[in-house]
Amino acid sequence: MQLGLIGLGKMGGNMAERLRRAGHEVIGYDHHADKRDVDSLPALVKALEAPRVVWVMVPAGEPTRATVRELRELLDAGDVVVDGGNSKFTDDQVHAQMLGEKGIGYLDVGVSGGVWGLENGYALMVGGAKEDVAKVQPVFDALKPPAPVDESGQALPGAGFVHAGPVGAGHFSKMVHNGIEYAMMQAYGEGYELLDAVPLIEDVPGVIASWTQGTVIRSWLLDLLVRALQEDPELEQISGWADDSGEGRWTVEQAIEHAVPMPAIAASLFARFVSRQEDSPTMKAVAALRNQFGGHAVRAVQAAEVEHPA
């Protein structure tokens, strides 16, 4: 199958390579000249045979919106645009309507697999019409992980791919996936900190590595934590600053809107905000209050820090 792919970064570039290994023809476009096969979006569309499938792998938000708007003017009825980035599901409905006015199909695909997807495959959560999914199915089949098998050697259905529902369902599913990921990462991080704080535990990396086999908390994320600790046992080469992609926020927003309790995911999101504060204003206020009502000791800011704040 022939595919146009826009965005050849870490994810997009590896996806293109995996598809080519599976025998598909990928024509790629990227802002970086050394990565692309064509020099512009019009050239990309011209190089594809109708009906065309164009997969967008650029940053969510305005970069994706601008790309979809440009593709609307370049593509024809029967073509399909796939947004494989981390767009908010509400953007998908706008894009689908805009493209649908010209008879262009639209799919939103939540993609998980990170830099390991080239070898392991990508989990794909797809939103859109069945007829558009069918047009892109050969690409999905090449990108997803190999299907696990049962004891008789028969492939088990569903692993690594789902047509989750209409437009928006793919990115909504990926949003919830990332919210869960936040909470899992936070739990592993807190467990690591407690182990590291207790002198009784002499081999923290070894304890965490022991959890990767036979326990109910084993996971790929845990495997990655073990890998990180093998490379840097005390995590001395990395700061405790953690960004958020936006999907954790959107997950909590949807939980509020639908009255779904999500204390673990919400707490993990707020913990990331805490990680960016060198000196928490909240805790300054708490310390001041304890001093006011109980005379509890407070730690004064060092004079040097006052005179020369970082």
Residues annotated catalytic, as ranges? 174, 181
Residue 270 sits at φ, ψ, to 5 deg, of -65, -30
CA 277 to chain centre: 24
In the DSSP assignment, the letter for residue 48 is S
Beta pairing partners, 56: 6, 83
What Å distances lie between residue 204 and 194, 229, 231, 236, CA to CA? 10, 9, 14, 14
In the DSSP assignment, the letter for residue 147 is P
What Å distances lie between residue 26 and 9, 12, 18, 32, CA to CA? 14, 11, 10, 17
Stated as kind and residue range, the H or E segment containing 26 is strand 25-29
Q: Where would I find the H helices in the chain?
A: 10-21, 41-47, 62-74, 89-100, 117-120, 130-143, 169-197, 204-210, 220-231, 247-257, 263-275, 281-294, 303-307
Tokens matching residue 249? 């926020």
**Angle, vertex CA 126, rays to CA 122 and CA 43, nearest 5:** 80
Burial of 112 from C-beta contacts in 10 A (0-12 / 13-18 / 19+): middle
What Å distances lie between residue 303 and 192, 283, 307, CA to CA? 34, 20, 6
Contact 110, 162 (CB under 8 A): no
Residues 6+ apart with CB under 8 A from 279: none
Stated as kind and residue range, the H or E segment containing 54 is strand 53-56
